[in-house]
Amino acid sequence: MTARQVQSRIWRPETSGLTLLASAGVTQAFPRHCHDHFVIAATEAGVGGSISRTGLRRAGPGSLMIIHPGEIHTGYPVCPPTWSYRAVYPDASLFPETIEGSAGEMPFFRDTIVEDAELSGEFLRAHHMLESPAEALEGQSRMLSFLATLAARHSDRWPEPPPAAVSSGPLARARDYLETAYNQNVSLKQLAGIANLSVFHFLRAFSRQFGLPPHAYLNQVRVHQARELILRGVPIARAAVDVGFVDQSHLTKRFKRLLGVTPGQVLPQAAVATVSLRGRQGLRASV
């Protein structure tokens, strides 16, 4: 990694409604997973690939990768064998607020990849500014302006939703239980009982409905909850136990596999406000 490359980390500028990820020199492939928020990413070096509802797509410099909330996807470096990118996870309320006349609707992007070098450049400029408390106001303004332009320029109306499967209601109850009881030792039999299905039927139906088996879905929920706790300043070891992992090493393994960074690379909000000039210079990368 060169001196001008960023160091991988996750942080949240104070009161911005934005969670940010800077990741450099990525060599790992991310397994199938989803997020409960939008993910918008721009490549700084290399080429990244993703398999999602639109099939296999690739994003190099000048491209934007967009993943909808709940959308199952993968991610991996294509060429060279490393990939550097920056991503933003905007709060659910931000997109409707930025779109005039949207009536609170979330935007829909037909393709996972948007080819727009101008917007990609603006995204990266705003992202770099949000590393620095001194530039936070301008960075937030630029990022919100970027979200509004992205939606106005590239989003579409949501297609008609497909008819709900007969089992979607009971399965949704089991999923909701995982999202609220994530810190408990949940059994397959217990989840199948909530859905009023046999264990084998439940396992197949849940995976088909949500794109992940129950254990993978649970690990994903735990990792996202741990990220939130660490961002708020909760010590990593305590966060690991609070969300249901056996210990910190188990959290670190799952965290790195899903997010591409370790829990130690999550910067609590209190630390963001005291980033030094030296630290900012070490984190900057060429756009």
Q: What is the pTM of this model?
A: 0.82
**Which pLDDT score, from 0 to 100, does residue 92 have?**
75
Residue-wise pLDDT tens digits, 127-164: 999 988 889 889 999 999 999 899 989 988 776 654 44
Kindly state whether residues 95 and 232 are assigned to the same domain: no
**Which pLDDT score, from 0 to 100, does residue 276 have?**
37
CA pseudo-torsion sign 158, 164, 165, 169: positive
Kindly state whether residues 22 and 142 are assigned to the same domain: yes
Kindly state whether residues 250 and 273 are assigned to the same domain: no
**Which pLDDT score, from 0 to 100, does residue 2 have?**
40
Domains contained in the chain, number: 2
Domain containing residue 74: CATH number: 2.60.120.280
C-alpha 5/C-alpha 146 separation (Å) is 23
Kindly state whether residues 154 and 18 are assigned to the same domain: yes
* Whether residue 110 has pLDDT greater than 60: yes
Q: Which helix (H) or strand (E) holds 225?
A: helix 214-231
Average pLDDT over residues 81-110: 78
Owning domain of residue 172: 168-264
Residue tagged 């408390």 (tokens): 133
Average pLDDT over residues 91-106: 65
Residue-wise pLDDT tens digits, 239-251: 999 999 999 999 9
Kindly state whether residues 98 and 181 are assigned to the same domain: no
pLDDT band at 165 (very low <50, low <70, confident <90, very high): very low
* Whether residue 40 has pLDDT greater than 60: yes
> Please, which residues have CB within 8 angstroms of residue 137's CB and are 6 or more apart in sequence?
none
Distance of CA 112 to the CA centre of its chain: 14
CB 174 within 8 A of CB 235: no
At position 19, the amino acid (one-letter code) is: T
**Which pLDDT score, from 0 to 100, does residue 98 have?**
60
Is the residue at 4 inside a domain?
Answer: no
Is the residue at 3 inside a domain?
Answer: no
Is the residue at 38 inside a domain?
Answer: yes
Is the residue at 64 inside a domain?
Answer: yes
Percent of the chain with pLDDT over 70: 84
Kindly state whether residues 32 and 122 are assigned to the same domain: yes
Residue tagged 């670190």 (tokens): 252
Domain containing residue 219: CATH number: 1.10.10.60
CB 90 within 8 A of CB 38: yes
Kindly state whether residues 118 and 176 are assigned to the same domain: no
In angstroms, how far is the first alpha carbon of the chain from the final one?
A: 16
CA angle 123–129–132, rounded 5-degree value:
150
Name the residue with higher pLDDT: 255 or 107: 255
Kindly state whether residues 144 and 228 are assigned to the same domain: no
Kindly state whether residues 74 and 134 are assigned to the same domain: yes
Kindly state whether residues 115 and 186 are assigned to the same domain: no
Q: How many residues does the chain have?
A: 287
Is the residue at 253 inside a domain?
Answer: yes
